[in-house]
Amino acid sequence: MSAYEEYKREIYRIGWRIQYKARKVRAREFPLFDNHTIDHNFTAASDTKIWIQDLLSELPSQGSTIISKLYLQDMTENEVAKELHLSQQAVNKWKKKMIQILSQTASF
Domain boundaries, the chain: 3-30+53-106
Most confident of 10-14, 49-53, 104-108: 10-14
What pLDDT does residue 41 have? Answer: 67
Q: Which CATH architecture has domain 3-30+53-106?
A: Orthogonal Bundle (1.10)
Q: Using CA atoms, how far apart are residues 108 and 104, in angstroms rounded to an integer?
A: 7
Look at the alpha carbons of 66, 92, 105, 72 in this order and tell me if their dihedral is positive or negative.
positive
pLDDT surpassing 80 at residue 83: yes
Q: Which of 85, 10, 88, 87 is nearest to 1 (CA)?
A: 10
Contacts for 32 with CB less than 8 Å, ≥ 6 apart:
52, 71, 72
Four-point Cα dihedral 30, 36, 42, 48, nearest 10: -20
Q: pTM, whole model, 2 decimals?
A: 0.56
